Amino acid sequence: MAPQKFDATKRFRHFSGSNGEALQDSFVLSVLHGKESGFYLEIGSSFPQRGSNTYLLETRYKWTGLSIDIDQSMVGLFNDNRKNEVLLGDATNLNYELELKLRSFPSRIDYLQLDIDPPTNTLLAMKQLPLKKYRFSVITFEHDLYASDKSLAIKQEASQILTQNGYVCVVSNLQTIPRVKDSDGTWKPFEDWWIDEELLQYYSFGFFDSVRWIDIFAISRRFKMQVLQNAFRMRMRHRIKMWLRTL
């Protein structure tokens, strides 16, 4: 029996316990219909729980995963709080095929996260992946288009590589409120979301461009208001700081 069709024009489901900054984990689970015992490759793990795109997948849906991070303190924190493995290393200079084979990963991996700083390194890490030998059902690529003039070229090159390898962008220039120092609380484009084109034979997806993440998920009105209120407070704090600097 073919999988149940999913129409993203009706918005993605918000899964309880979602930790992703822009609900990336809910996006993955929506596309894969709440799949259990899946596999992920997380390039740029950072914190083990807060803002993690894989915490929910591992803890509630029993996924197996491999994460990579260059920050030793983050790797230590991750290993202290998570079951799945994180490697301490340079994601731009890693033999991914060897690491995946050593851990008996299947040739079909359900989720690939590409998110390291700066975005130039995210692109370099993606170029190291054995894209001809491994397929990824869902990919999120952070390009931080808002942050630098170089980001557009990074986004375009990444898009060309993924398209040539049979992936389809279903969410382009997704907007979030960056969690950076002195954030002005406004929504900015930072990430693209992709799926394997093979999924298109089973699913009917909408295509989103330059939208806020709160607008593509079926979230409660209360949750949405909390996000908007936080954004408003950030804007007010930023304006006050700017005003004080003029005194």
Which domains does the chain carry? 8-245 (3.40.50.150)
62: Cβ contacts below 8 Å, ≥ 6 apart? 36, 37
153: Cβ contacts below 8 Å, ≥ 6 apart? none
Distance CA 183, CA 192 (A): 21
Distance CA 59, CA 67 (A): 15
In tens digits, the chain (247 residues) has pLDDT values of 344 444 445 678 899 999 998 999 999 999 999 999 999 999 998 888 888 999 999 999 999 999 999 999 999 999 999 999 999 999 999 999 999 999 999 999 999 999 999 999 999 999 999 999 999 999 999 999 998 889 999 999 999 999 999 999 999 999 998 776 566 778 999 999 999 999 887 765 578 999 999 999 887 778 778 777 776 676 676 566 666 667 6
